[in-house]
Structure 1
Amino acid sequence: MADLTTFDAADLGRRDVMRSAGAAMLAGLAVAGSSPATAQAAGKISAAARNAGPLGLRLQGVQHFGLTVQNMDRAYEFYTQVLGGTEVMRDGDFQGERIHNTLLTDQEIEARERHVNPRTMGVPDLRGGAQRLDVRFIQFDNVVIELLQYRDADQPMGGGNSFAEPLDHMSPAFPRMMHICFHIRDDVDFNSFIRDLEAEAAKRGMTQVRANRVITVNSEPERQAAPLDSNSNPITEGKSNGWRLIYAKGPEGEQLEFVQALGPVKKTFDDALAARRRLTAG
């Protein structure tokens, strides 16, 4: 879950952050030789000014999140048929020096510094073609998820064996660990959604799709027997008032989160998005 207290801890309000970013934008315009008044009159920022301005003004948001999977077909079924995403495109059999270097240069350097074979560190050999990379992109309302599978060249696309073994421990407390968070619609019953998510996944043999409970359980049978209202954690005070969440595991053991943002916290995020759009318009 996003840390909603970060700016408070640094004694920075959202207005201060936006004001600072706006000042940086104007500085970038000046460097590029274009006056703010001219840019505002035109209703957009020139390409030259944008390229000379702060990095944040050169972005247009998050394009996708990537998830390396053990079984492509299984992950694809979950994100499309269970969670309802739609396929954008698929591609694969990637190999060769350029794609190897694009993705794996830092791992190759680390292996050399350790004086070990990169394969022992789980680094595939895309350069020589011993391993291949397949990808599928899945569209949700506001972001794309990319599924990636690294496999040996003699393995079939989709359901073949992956090149490296999956990580066993996926605690969100581990540094570098990331998670995918899905936003549940305002009028959806959160607790029923989690119940139905687990049931739909189980029907497809994905029994590893499991959500946490807000009460203490000590075994899988206890988790399954927990009451429906323990499927989510509603926050009713402080700056997160209106936030409801639960963590879960996906079919690949990946860390997922489901959230609903209502009331005061919804307004906080909506206001921040509107301010961001005003700042970066053009």
Structure 2
Amino acid sequence: MTDETHNAIEIGRRAVLRSAGAAVVAGLVVGSASDAGAQGTDAMPATARNEAPLGARLQGVQHFGLTVQNMERAYQFYTEVLGGTEVFRHGDFQGDGVQNTLLADQEIEANTRGVNPRTIGVPDLRSGAQRLDVRFIQFDNMVLELLQYREADQPMGSSKSFAEPLEHMSPAFPRMMHICFYVRDDVDFNKFIADLEAESARRGMTQVRANRTVRVTTETDRKAAPRSANTNRVTEAPSDGWELIYCKGPEGEQLEFVKALGPVKKRFSEALAQRQAIVR
């Protein structure tokens, strides 16, 4: 195969994946950036807005942040596999202002415990011994921010973070969060999951594994489960019409992919309309 043929196939594959994987956060299931209370549609003057309830001063969720161990691997997954678009990247953040803004509460905690801040995962951005890099990735109505704290002698995009990753990634742990992507209504959900796993495996991202709706006790069992076991379809109200799978991302992060169809989609639409009426 020539390099030109390989490149053409790769471009085609990415285009297909972007089309299938175009997604938004489930919490904003039926909204879009243009209808989510954008500025310019409100008649409320600024003086009144500043005295309004806190919720009326918000425009919604701007981004979710994910601290990663391997920046390039995570970036490849969220852009090349899931089809997100890079907004910009910035890095080498260090200094007193950055340390105070991001880590003051953790430094207070370390002082209270009488321990070295590093032992509880607090980097030293103040002196520049460690640095912070970020990359913003745009999806339909949500931005994902990838963050990496690294040693100063490590290059940007390093595969090695300052702190070791958490070993226990069960979604049952308090404070554990997940990122949820919204699959388009006309997409074959079972095939989407199969393609997601295959594309990730092709790139060596072995952590990207979706759960099944049938009981499995080994990885062999999971792989052997029928494709129809990829998707959990909820039929009981008020979640009727909800389809979902849980999946680990390349960093071990918890991901969810959902569809919201029929009754549950209507409930989200009605809630969004009520929310917009209150804010405006």
Q: TM-score, normalised by structure 1?
A: 0.84
**1:162 and 2:161 equivalent?**
yes
**1:202 and 2:201 equivalent?**
yes
Query: Could you say what secondary structure the match of 2:76 adopts?
Result: helix
Could you tell me how far 1:2 is from its partner in structure 2? 8.2
Identity between Structure 1 and Structure 2 (%)? 72
**Are the aligned partners of 1:235 and 1:241 in contact in 2 as well (CA < 8 Å)?**
yes
**Are the aligned partners of 2:87 and 2:136 in contact in 1 as well (CA < 8 Å)?**
yes
Q: Which residue pairs with 2:125 in the alignment?
A: 126
RMSD: 1.5
Q: Which residue pairs with 2:249 in the alignment?
A: 250
Q: Which residue pairs with 1:178 in the alignment?
A: 177
Query: Could you say what secondary structure the match of 2:272 adopts?
Result: helix
Q: Which residue pairs with 2:103 in the alignment?
A: 104
**Are the aligned partners of 2:94 and 2:130 in contact in 1 as well (CA < 8 Å)?**
yes
Aligned ranges 1:225-236 → 2 under 5 Å: 225-236=224-235
Aligned ranges 1:138-157 → 2 under 5 Å: 138-157=137-156
**Are the aligned partners of 1:212 and 1:247 in contact in 2 as well (CA < 8 Å)?**
yes
How far, CA to CA, are the matches of 2:267 and 2:174 in structure 1? 27
1:199-249: per-residue Cα shift (whole Å, max 9, x none)? Answer: 000000001100000100000011001000110100112110000011110
**1:276 and 2:275 equivalent?**
yes
Could you tell me how far 1:159 is from its partner in structure 2? 2.3
How far, CA to CA, are the matches of 2:235 and 2:118 in structure 1? 50
Q: Which residue pairs with 1:50 in the alignment?
A: 49
Could you tell me how far 1:278 is from its partner in structure 2? 2.5
How far, CA to CA, are the matches of 1:161 and 1:238 in structure 2? 45
How far, CA to CA, are the matches of 1:176 and 1:276 in structure 2? 26
Q: Which residue pairs with 1:240 in the alignment?
A: 239
Paired amino acid for 2:201 = A
How far, CA to CA, are the matches of 1:221 and 1:165 in structure 2? 28
**Are the aligned partners of 2:26 and 2:182 in contact in 1 as well (CA < 8 Å)?**
no
Listed as ranges, the gaps of 5+ residues in structure 2 are 1-24, 28-40
Q: Quickly say closer, same or farther: Cα 1:112–1:218, change in 2 above 3 A.
A: same
Query: Could you say what secondary structure the match of 1:80 adopts?
Result: helix
Q: Higher RCO, 1 or 2 (CA under 8 Å, sep at least 6)?
A: 2
Q: Which residue pairs with 2:77 in the alignment?
A: 78
Listed as ranges, the gaps of 5+ residues in structure 1 are 4-41
Q: Where do 4+ consecutive residues of structure 1 move more than 6 Å?
A: none
Q: Which residue pairs with 1:218 in the alignment?
A: 217
Q: Which residue pairs with 1:28 in the alignment?
A: none
Q: Which residue pairs with 1:25 in the alignment?
A: none
Counting matched residue pairs gives 243
Paired amino acid for 1:269 = F
**Are the aligned partners of 1:245 and 1:257 in contact in 2 as well (CA < 8 Å)?**
yes
Q: TM-score, normalised by structure 2?
A: 0.85
